[in-house]
C-alpha cells in the first residue's frame, strides 16, 4: 500500500488549549478514516493540520500528493452563477470544463449551473464544494463536515464520490459528527485523545 498522508507524533494547541498530542496516523491509497468526536474535540483542527493550513505544535505532517479540502466555507464567489464560480477553481487547478461538467453531474448540480451561489441552500453549497474537490483531481480528500445540510440523496452521492476516489487510488480523511454510510471506514475517536 502506498502512503499518501502521514501524521507523526503531532500535537495541536489552539489558543492556550492543548487539543491533542502524540497523534500519529497514516492514510494509504484506497483508505478512508472517519474522525469522530464531540464539538471542540479537534476534528477540524486535525483536518487543517493535514491540509497544511495549521502548523503542528510538535510532530510532522507529510503529504505525498495534492490535497483537496472542504471546510465550513464554500470558497465560491457568492455573486456569480455556480458554474462560473466553479470555473475559477477549474482554472486554478488547470482542469478543463468537461471535468467540471462531469463533477457537477456526479453531484446532481447541472440544473443549478446558472443559479447565483448566494441563492443556493446550505446543502447545495456543500455539493458545490464537493464538485470543486472532485474536479480538482487531487487524490487526498480532507472533508470537514461535508454532509452538513445535505439530504439523503445528496449524502448518497457524496458516499459514491468518496468510493470512486478510493477506487481510483485516492484517500479520504473525513471529519463528521454523524456517521456516513461509507464502507470499510476506519475510525478515530478524537474525544478520547486528551
Do 84 and 75 touch, CB atoms closer than 8 A? no
Query: Quick one: 54 or 113, whose CB is closer to another protein?
Result: 54
Do 176 and 162 touch, CB atoms closer than 8 A? no
* Distance, first Cα to last Cα, the chain: 30
Interaction residues for another protein, span 68-97 (CB under 8 A): 68-69, 71-79, 88-89, 91-94
Nearest-angstrom CA–CA distance, 174 and 169: 16
Interaction residues for another protein, span 113-172 (CB under 8 A): 132
Is 178 among the residues that bind another protein (CB under 8 A)?
no
Question: Which residues in 122-189 belong to E strands, given as ranges?
Answer: 140-144, 171-175, 186-189
Query: Quick one: which of 27, 51, 150, 175 contacts another protein (CB under 8 A)?
Result: 51
Least distance in angstroms from the C-beta of 11 to another protein: 15
Nearest to 165 by CA among 43, 70, 75, 74: 70
Pick the stretch among 37-45, 60-68, 104-112, 184-192 that binds another protein (CB under 8 A).
Answer: 60-68
Least distance in angstroms from the C-beta of 119 to another protein: 16
Least distance in angstroms from the C-beta of 156 to another protein: 25
Query: Quick one: 9 or 72, whose CB is closer to another protein?
Result: 72
Nearest-angstrom CA–CA distance, 119 and 31: 35
The Cβ of residue 152 has, within 10 Å, a number of other Cβ atoms equal to 8
Query: Quick one: 23 or 68, whose CB is closer to another protein?
Result: 68
- Residues of the shown chain interacting with another protein in the complex, contacts defined by CB under 8 A: 48, 51-55, 66-69, 71-79, 88-89, 91-94, 132
Amino acid at each position: 500500500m502506498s502512503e499518501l498522508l502521514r501524521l507523526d507524533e503531532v500535537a495541536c494547541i489552539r489558543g492556550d488549549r492543548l487539543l491533542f498530542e502524540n497523534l500519529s496516523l497514516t492514510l494509504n491509497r484506497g483508505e478512508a478514516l472517519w474522525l469522530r468526536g464531540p464539538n471542540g474535540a479537534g476534528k477540524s483542527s486535525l483536518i487543517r493540520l493535514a491540509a497544511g493550513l495549521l502548523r503542528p505544535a510538535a510532530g510532522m505532517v507529510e503529504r505525498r500528493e495534492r490535497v483537496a479540502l472542504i471546510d465550513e466555507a464554500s470558497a465560491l464567489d457568492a455573486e456569480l452563477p455556480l458554474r462560473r464560480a466553479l470555473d475559477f477553481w477549474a482554472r486554478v487547478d488547470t482542469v478543463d470544463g468537461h471535468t467540471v461538467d462531469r463533477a457537477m453531474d456526479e453531484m446532481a448540480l447541472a440544473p443549478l449551473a446558472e443559479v447565483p451561489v448566494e441563492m443556493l441552500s446550505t446543502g447545495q453549497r456543500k455539493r458545490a464544494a464537493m464538485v470543486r474537490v472532485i474536479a480538482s483531481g487531487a487524490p487526498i480528500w480532507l472533508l470537514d463536515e461535508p454532509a452538513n445540510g445535505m439530504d439523503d440523496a445528496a449524502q448518497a452521492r457524496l458516499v459514491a464520490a468518496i468510493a470512486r476516489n478510493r477506487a481510483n487510488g485516492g484517500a479520504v480523511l473525513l471529519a463528521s459528527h454523524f456517521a456516513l454510510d461509507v464502507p470499510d471506514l476506519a475510525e478515530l475517536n478524537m474525544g478520547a485523545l486528551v
